[in-house]
Structure 1
Amino acid sequence: MPTLLSRLIEARPDEWRAYTHHAFVERLAAGTLPEAAFRHYLVQDYLFLIQFARAYALAVFKSRTIEEMQAGLAGLKAILDLEMDLHVRTCAGWGLTREAMAATPEDIPTTAYTRFVIDAGLQGDLLDLHVALSPCVIGYGVIAERLAAVPGALEATNPYAFWIAEYAGEAYREVAESAVRTLDRLAGSDLSPERFKRLADLFAQASRLEAAFWQMGLDAAR
C-alpha cells in the first residue's frame, strides 16, 4: 500500500521536483555553490528552525495520544539537538555566534514559510500540521540521500560534503522515516477525496516555499 507521502508526491510532482532538484542543491553536490549563498541560507535556516521548533511544540500540544506526542517530541529534539547544532558549528567557522545568528533579521521567504506552517497547525488538525512540516523534515533526507550518490559529492574537496553527509546519515534518516510513518498513522485508511486534496494543497504550498528558500540563498550571492 502506498504511503501518504508517496501519494502526495504523485499528486503534486512538479512542486516536489522543483524543491528537491533546485539549482541550489544541485550545486551543493557539485561543490560549486557560492559560499555567500550557503552562508545566507544557513543563517536564515537557523532562524527558520527556531520557528519550526515551535511548530513541533504545537504538534505535541495538539496530540491526542502518547504516541502522537512522542512523534512531535522526536521532531522537536531533531531540530534542537541535531540540526541547530550543525548550524552553530558551521557558522562558528565564519566567526558567527549563536547570538549573532539569532539577532539577524528574517528574510521574507523565512517568515513566509515558517508562519505558513504554524498557521496550518493552528487552523487545522494534527495531520494538517505534519503534512505542512513534511517537505522540510522528509525532503532534506530525500535530497541528501540522492546527493550522496553523486560522484564526488562526499569527497573532502567538496566544501558542502559535511551538509550532505549529515542529512544522509543514519540519525537523520530515522527522523525522516519516522515522519513518513507518522503521516500514515494520522491519515488512517479513510481519507475522503476532498480531505486528500486539501492535504495535497498544503504539501504543494510547503514545497513551493521550500524552493523559494533555496532561491533566497542563490539570490543573496548575486
Structure 2
Amino acid sequence: MLFQRLIQKNSEVWCQYLDHNFVKGLKEGTLNKENFLFYLKQDYMYLINYSKCYARLALNANTVEELRFAIKFQNYTLEGELELHKSILELGIDTSNFNEKDESLVNIAYSRYILGVGENGDFLDMLIALSACAIGYGYIGSKIYKDISKEKLQNHPYKEWILTYSSQEFQASVKEFENFVNSYTEQISEEKFNKLSKIFYNVVRLEIAFWEHSLKMEINI
C-alpha cells in the first residue's frame, strides 16, 4: 500500500514525529500550559491555511471523486478541528485578534510549502503533502488514548485534545484519508513514488519543526 511504503521509506523522521517530546508531554500531562497554548494558537492559524490547501486540492482534482474528497475534508477541517481549537483558545486567548504578525515562521513555511506543492504539482502530490497532518494526528491520538488509563484521562489537562484526535469520528476520517491515498498504489511508477516520498519527507520534517517550535515558543527561526 502506498502510505505504508511512504512510512517505511521515511521511517526515521516518521517516528520522530509520532514520538516527539511535545507528544510525550501531551500524553503524560507534563507539557506546560504556555507551550500548549502557543501550539494551539499557531495550529489555529495553520488550520485556516490548511483549509485553503484543500481548496487547492479541489482545483487539482481530475475526477468527481477527487473533488468530493477535497471539499469534504476542507469542511471537516473548518467545522471540526478549527472549532475545537477556537473553543480551547477562547479560555485564554481571543482568536478574533489574530493577525499575520502572530504567525510563526515555521507555521508560514509549512502551510506555504503545501500550497507550493499543489501549485507546481498534481492532485496526488498535494494529497501526500496533506497526509502527514491528516493521518499522523490520528496515529498520535489513537496511541495516546491506548497508552493512558481512563482514570488518568478523567482529570488530564489535555483531555479535550486527546478525546478529539482519538474519537471514532476522527479515526474514521483518518482511515478514509489513508484508504484514499492507498487507492493510487497501483497507478504510480517508481519515479512518481520517489517524488511523493520527497514530498512526504519534507512535510513530516515540518510537522517535527512545528512540535519543536511549540516547545521553544519561537515565532522566529
Task: Give the TM bin, normalised by the shorter chain.
Answer: over 0.9
Among 14, 33, 36, the residue aligned to 1:35? 33
The offset of 1:194, in angstroms, is 1.4
Partner of 1:116: 113
Question: Hey, what's the Cα distance between the residues in 2 that align with 1:208 and 1:104?
Answer: 24
* In structure 2, C-alpha distance between the alignment counterparts of 1:106 and 1:100, rounded to whole Å: 12
Is 1:140–2:137 an aligned residue pair?
Answer: yes
Instruction: Identify the match of residue 102 of structure 2 among 102, 105, 109.
Output: 105
| Partner in structure 2 of residue 72 of structure 1 | 70
Report if the CA contact (8 A) 1:53-1:79 is conserved: yes
Question: Which whole-Å CA distance do the structure 2 matches of 1:55 and 1:103 have between them?
Answer: 18
What is the total number of aligned residue pairs between the two structures?
A: 217
| Corresponding residue to 2:53 among 49, 52, 55 | 55
Structure 1 CA distance for aligned equivalents of residues 23 and 121 of structure 2: 31
CA distance in 1, matches of 2:208, 2:112: 16
CA contact (8 A) 2:2 2:185 kept: no
- What RMSD over aligned residues (CA atoms) do the two structures have, in Å? 1.5
Partners of 2:126 and 2:148 in 1: how far apart?
36
The whole-number CA distance in structure 1 between the counterparts of 2:142 and 2:186 is: 29
Residue number in structure 1 paired with 2:190: 193
Q: TM-score, with normalisation over the residues of structure 1?
A: 0.93
Q: Is the 8 A contact 2:138 2:165 kept in 1?
A: yes
Over 3 Å counting, the alpha-carbon distance change for 1:170 and 1:158 in structure 2 is: same
Deviates more, 1:10-19 or 1:97-106: 97-106
Q: Distance in 2 between matches of 1:155 and 1:9?
A: 29
What's the TM-score, normalizing by structure 2?
0.94
2:179 maps to a residue whose letter is R
Give the Cα–Cα distance (whole angstroms) in 2 for the partners of residues 128 and 41 of structure 1.
27
Structure 1 unmatched runs, 5+: none
2:179: which partner in 1? Answer: 181
Match of 2:170 in 1: 172
Shift of 1:219: 0.2
Any idea what the Cα deviations from partners look like across 1:70-98, whole Å, max 9, x if unmatched? 1101210111000010011001111x223
Kept in 2, the 8 Å contact 1:109–1:209? The answer is yes
User: Residue 37 of structure 2: SS of its match in structure 1?
Assistant: helix
Q: Which amino acid aligns with 1:130?
A: L
Runs of 5+ consecutive residues of structure 2 not aligned to the other structure: none
State the partner residue of 1:156: 154
Paired residue secondary structure (2:3): helix
Q: Indicate the residue corresponding to 1:129 in structure 2.
A: 126
